[in-house]
Chain A
Amino acid sequence: MVQATQAMVAAETARSRRRRVMIGRIAVQCCLIGLSIFFLMPLVWMFVTAIKPIDETMSSPPKWIPSIFQWKNFPEAFAYNSKDLGYIPFLVYGKNTIFVTILAVIGSVISNSLVAYSFARIQWKGRDLLFGITLATMMVPGPVLMVPMYALFKEFGWIGTFRPLWIPTFFGSAFNIFLLRQFLKTIPMELSEAAKLDGASEWRTFIDVIMPLARPALTVIAVFTFLWAWNDFMGPLLYLTDQQTFTLSMGLQFFQSQHTGTPWNLLMAASLIVILPVIIVFFFAQKVFIEGIATTGLKS
């Protein structure tokens, strides 16, 4: 009798605990769905506005489903002729941005892998000191370098060209070196030693043994650099002088800066086209990329 009651009480507490867990689960799901709306709504609204006719952008209450899907907003945004700014050559801006971004990604992957390899896998005097200094330079705020960089590039005769935006990437960057070094350190030293016993030079070990293993980390570096170059605003603002050499970020800002009667649907269409490549790249590299970001925060 007593035992039976105890069993019943135990079953009861188990059931109530299970119910508590269930309620918790549902609450969490509700929170997640609510937050998803907060995070997605602005982007959805951007898309909706981008395919609307202009008069529906101003309707109240806001229209979530346009009466017609005006896809021609996209080509129109890319050939926009503004009253006070004139023709905005977005296609040229797109080409410029792609050019700078590709060179920056190539430069960054080559230089950072060489330097990180040296820091992670070769013993040399002064290495640890230089690595320490490299880490410390991550503290230097960008704006401090605005004036001296401009003066330097002016000295080189690079102002008004794309060179200030991509040549420096061929010389490495502290953050990427750090990230890649952490990864290269996790590859067992025995692999290199075995390769060298087989008569491989340091260069062959680097190219044939280590780099193939470092593919995920190299992807992260490539994606980071892509994002940085594609999104960069201050660099182009400082160094590009001719309107024909602007990048997409600058073009968008230029488009937005017109004062009278902003065509919001076209502006949203243009913004969407600027954002889209970033999101596509992210989806392709999502897994390694998210792990890469996590590494930056955990291994330091």
Chain B
Amino acid sequence: MDEVSGAGPRQMNSRRDQRVGILFALPWILGFTIFLAYPLLSSLYYSFTNFSILRSPRWIGLSNYKELMSDEVFHLSLKNTLTFAAASVPLATICAILLAMLLNTKSKGMAFYRTIFYIPSLVPMVALGVLWLWIFNGHYGLLNEGLSRIGLPTPPWLTDPAWSKWTLVIISIWGTGNAMVIYLAGLQDVPQSLYEAADIDGARAWGKTRHVTIPMISPVILFNVVMGIIGSLQTFALPYVMFPGGQPARSAYFFSMYLYDTAFQFQRMGYASAMGWVMFGITLGLTLLALKLSAKHVHYEGG
């Protein structure tokens, strides 16, 4: 013990804690530096360069960002991604909450149904894409067979630019199990006494939902919406498998698909890095917006 000189036992302890603490956290300190901070900073640098696997980065200032402003494919992929997010996040949120509320009625077989609703969200993205390609198939697909049987229109889910995004939205609702489980836990945390109080006030089911349930689970909703926004902006594997090249008419060409193609097909890694930072910016912006809009409505227990 070299640092004994004049230090009391308590100080010695805290010094030892400092060393041991850092030692335990060392994997992450290294991992954070090597696999996160360094790549993030280097990608910021790359975004100001012309760079490919074969060529080392050459500084070109803001050119990449300027080019993005007039890149029509970029605008289209951005529009596609935001449209998908704007449709799938609210729809999946509503469905997940409704499912959770149904499960929370304490009727028989709750654990059984919870398992059934949850399983689809476990299916690997590629298998998910392959499965739904089969179900949405224009010729032999189960869905259109069923729809035509009951006299409903049979849209060309996979080949019509107007439908391709909706196909993906439907699939995202099918895989909403993760959020549902979180909502269910949130609902089970709502104190029963609040419902009893509402009963005494003569509240009906809708009133209880509106004035007790929703406010009480609002922090959970906020968390899921933010995660949903972040996730849907990154959508990659599913459209990559189901709509190669984002076809038809690039209607399912998403932001991260364009980023991937730019970097690894067109070999423009600097330009792709600039796209990555724009995406980062949009993600941050939307998240802050969600936090700000919700500040008035989200209710936190006991502050």
Q: Which A residues are within 8 Å of any B CB, using their own CB?
A: 24-25, 28-29, 31-32, 35-36, 38-43, 45-46, 49, 57-58, 60-62, 111, 114-115, 117-119, 122-125, 127, 130, 133-134, 137, 139-152, 154, 168, 170-173, 177, 202, 206, 227, 230-231, 233-234, 238, 248-250, 252-253, 256-257, 264, 267-268, 271, 274-275, 278-279, 282, 286, 290-291, 293-298, 300
Tell whether, in the assembled complex, residue B36 and residue A290 are in contact, meaning their CB atoms are under 8 Å apart: no
Tell whether, in the assembled complex, residue A177 and residue B236 are in contact, meaning their CB atoms are under 8 Å apart: no
Tell whether, in the assembled complex, residue B27 and residue A170 are in contact, meaning their CB atoms are under 8 Å apart: yes
Given the known inter-chain contacts A142-B234, A143-B259, please indicate yes or no for A137 contacting B32, CB distance below 8 A.
Answer: yes
8 A Cβ contacts from B109-139 to A: 109, 113-120, 122-127, 129-135, 139
Chain A residue contacts of B178, Cβ below 8 A: 293
In the assembly, what is the distance between CA of A45 and CA of B230, in Å? Answer: 31
Q: Which B residues are within 8 Å of any A CB, using their own CB?
A: 14, 17-18, 20-32, 34-36, 38-40, 42-43, 46, 53, 99, 102-103, 105, 107-109, 113-120, 122-127, 129-135, 139-140, 142, 145, 149, 174, 178, 181-186, 189, 220, 223-224, 230, 233-234, 236-237, 240-241, 244, 255-256, 259-260, 263-264, 269, 272-273, 276-277, 279-280, 283-284, 287
Chain A residue contacts of B131, Cβ below 8 A: 42-43, 46, 268, 271
Tell whether, in the assembled complex, residue A60 and residue B140 are in contact, meaning their CB atoms are under 8 Å apart: yes
Q: Which one, B21, B53, B107, contacts A32 given CB within 8 A?
A: B107
Chain B residue contacts of A234, Cβ below 8 A: 236-237
Q: List 5 A-B contacts (CB under 8 A).
A: A25-B107, A46-B134, A145-B43, A152-B38, A172-B28
Additional A-B contacts beyond A134-B28, A253-B130 (11; CB < 8 A): A39-B119, A62-B145, A118-B25, A122-B24, A146-B256, A146-B260, A147-B43, A202-B24, A231-B124, A253-B240, A264-B134
In the assembly, what is the distance between CA of A62 and CA of B142, in Å? Answer: 7
- Report B118 CB to chain A, min CB distance, Å: 7
Tell whether, in the assembled complex, residue B220 and residue A274 are in contact, meaning their CB atoms are under 8 Å apart: no
In the assembly, what is the distance between CA of A155 and CA of B114, in Å? Answer: 46
Q: Which one, B108, B114, B230, contacts A141 given CB within 8 A?
A: B230
Nearest first, the 3 A-B pairs at minimum CB distance are A171-B31, A294-B185, A124-B21
Q: Which one, A45, A122, A257, contacts B21 given CB within 8 A?
A: A122
In the assembly, what is the distance between CA of A275 and CA of B120, in Å? Answer: 10
Tell whether, in the assembled complex, residue A122 and residue B17 are in contact, meaning their CB atoms are under 8 Å apart: yes
CB closest residue in chain A, given B36:
A137
Tell whether, in the assembled complex, residue B17 and residue A123 are in contact, meaning their CB atoms are under 8 Å apart: yes
